[in-house]
Amino acid sequence: MTAHPSFLDIAPEVADALAAGRPVVALESTIITHGMPWPANLETARAVEAVVRAGGAVPATIAVIAGRIRVGLDDATLEALAQKSDVMKLSRADLPFAVAAGRDGATTVAATMICAAAAGIRVFATGGIGGVHRGVEETMDVSADLEELARTPVCVVCAGAKAILDLPRTLEALETRGVPVIGYRTDDLPAFWSRSSGLAAPLRLDDAAAIASLIAAKRDLSLDGGVLVANPVPEEAEIPRAEIDAHIATALAEARAERVSAKAVTPFLLGRLVALTHGRSLATNVALVKNNAALAAEIAGALAQR
């Protein structure tokens, strides 16, 4: 664990649930500040928390506010965060900077995992993890999310890696790092906006209790790191691969032409896709995050039962 408990402000409702062994689901904040436009970002953040509650768990949205790591945000703080434009995007590398400098920052999958683990939260719902970027041979752009999954014991529920990435290499990197990648009720690795990437999911489980058993077994074996659950986007919200692939190619070409690099790459590509699909990719993103939150609540419930 990286974040020392003295840097954490755990919301009373979250602390109570953790103390009582009741289910809690961590939620990230980069998706709010850098992943979706206003006001869909705030509406989605609220809706996702409601889905977690409906699933019988307590939501804990994580962000850094004025240098304090907040685990569980009240609605006013959530709204203010969603409207601000100067919020840092925090991964493992940036988290201590934001804390030391008293800055506001939104946590990525990697940083949210660190803070969730420090708080004692074992399940986390997001949209899609970061991974190995296309063109990695030149850029060496590999998301810190992959290293975090290798070392921090949190179950991350996602809709696969984002299809803007090099998915075969992302899968290889996860395997090398010893991260179990589980297709939920599917043999195909989901590709965020689409239900299938055309790649096989390395493992498959069909219910939350079985996923909880795997998480428990991993801990009992003293194996470091997380578990990645890949939950396909609901059929009615899916964008067929042939359709999204063409837009991804366009967005990637634009990123190259504008020399977008480092932390700006993923937000740039997601933003361009919303424009290129006339908002359809955003609707899909909202639907898949809610779907992941529901499954995460179930998994957290199954873990709490054990």
CB of 269 to Mn ion, least distance (A): 11
Q: Which does 28 bind (CB under 5 to 8 A by kind): ligand PSU, Mn ion, none?
A: ligand PSU
Q: Which is nearer to ligand PSU, 128 or 225 (CB)?
A: 128
**Of 55, 127, 225, 301, the one binding ligand PSU by CB under 6 A:** 127
- Examine residue 238 and tell whether it contacts Mn ion (CB under 5 A): no
**Residue 166 engages Mn ion in binding (rule: CB under 5 A):** no
E strand spans, 93-239: 105-107, 123-125, 155-158, 181-184, 203-205, 227-230
Within 219-278, which residues bind ligand PSU (CB under 6 A)? 263, 266, 270
Nearest alpha-carbon partner for 115 in 171, 60, 69, 55: 69
Phi and psi torsions of 233, nearest 5°? -55, 140
145 contact choice in Mn ion, ligand PSU, none (CB below 5 to 8 Å, kind-dependent) = ligand PSU
Query: Which residues, other chains included, contact 301 with Cβ-Cβ below 8 Å and sequence gap of 6+?
Result: 23, 55, 56, 57, 208
Structure tokens at 109: 């999958």
Cβ pair 32, 82 in contact under 8 A: yes
**Catalytic residue annotation:** 28, 162
Number of Cα atoms under 13 Å in the Cβ half of residue 119: 35
User: Which residue lies nearest ligand PSU, judged by its C-beta?
Assistant: 127
Residues 33/94, Cβ–Cβ less than 8 Å: no
| Other beta carbons within 10 Å of 109 | 28
For Mn ion, give the closer residue by CB, 92 or 218. Answer: 92
Candidate list 28, 49, 141, 166; residue touching Mn ion; CB under 5 A:
141
Residue 17 or 166 with smaller CB distance to ligand PSU: 166
**Complex with ligand PSU: residue 164 or 201, whichever CB lies closer:** 164
Cβ atoms of residues 112 and 152 within 8 Å: no
Q: Taking the complex as a whole, how short is the minimal distance between the CB of residue 173 and Mn ion, in angstroms?
A: 13
Stretch that binds Mn ion, among 13-21, 47-55, 107-115, 134-142 (CB under 5 A): 134-142
Cα 121 to Cα 197: distance, rounded to the nearest angstrom: 30
Judged by CB under 6 A, the residue of 10, 11, 15, 31 near ligand PSU is 31
| Shortest distance, position 296 Cβ to ligand PSU, whole Å | 13
CB atoms within 10 A of CB 116: 29
Backbone angles phi, psi at 16, to 5 degrees: -60, -45
Backbone angles phi, psi at 20, to 5 degrees: -90, 0
Is residue 285 involved in binding ligand PSU (CB under 6 A)?
yes
What does the per-residue mask of binding to ligand PSU show for 79-118, with x meaning CB under 6 A? Answer: -----------------------------xx---------
User: Which stretches of the chain bind Mn ion, using CB under 5 A?
Assistant: 141
The binding site for ligand PSU (CB under 6 A) comprises 28, 30-31, 34-35, 108-109, 126-128, 130, 143-145, 263, 266, 270, 285, 289
